[in-house]
Amino acid sequence: MRIIAAEPPAPIAHPPQVTPASAQAVEPARTAVTGGTAPARTPAATPSVLKPCDRPVAKPALRFGDPAGFDRMLRTKLRGSRAVVVDMDTPYPAAKEAPAPLGAWLNEIAQSGGSVSVSPYCQKGRGFGGFFAKLFGGGPAEPYKAARKYDAVLHVDALDQVVTQVEFTPRKSKK
């Protein structure tokens, strides 16, 4: 006795294509399989689930969770000449103003000629209309003097449109 392998199931996502039958075409006879188990059907494909993206900087220098001690800690970190990454414990919407006192630090960077830019990650970024207009909140300038030597990059999760990290980078000297 000869056993013929079962035909694979047609893909569910694509409808079967119908080809016109010619007048002379003959459909082959189907042979039943006896004495065995039916071939297992492959399960239908499940939709992919969006996974959260890793933040751009794996080991930030500071965490923004307690605004009370944030000014002192950031001022100390900015006295060096290295980049300082602040990780947001609670990300804030990219279209909204930065939470106090972070907004005052970003404002000082912008007012002293530095740049505050946005760097989307995880997925292609979408529009940031009106983002910079609301970003810079006021506050006394002198306590944030250390920021005058830095630029800032806001790392935005493009999928959720929230700022998850703020990176302060030393400004390049202008020649």
Global pTM value = 0.57
| Per-residue model confidence (pLDDT) at position 173 | 72
pLDDT at 98: 93
What is the structure's pLDDT at 66? 80
Q: What is the pLDDT of residue 111?
A: 94
Lowest mean pLDDT among 17-26, 31-40, 107-116, 127-136: 127-136
Whether the pLDDT of residue 142 is over 60: the answer is: yes
Residue 156 has pLDDT above 90, yes or no: yes
The pLDDT of 103-127, averaged and rounded, is 83
Query: What is the overall mean pLDDT for the chain?
Result: 73
What lies within 8 Å, CB to CB, of 61 at 6+ separation is 77, 84, 85, 86
Residue 122: per-residue pLDDT? 83
Instruction: Write out pLDDT tens, residues 65-82.
Output: 888 889 999 999 999 889
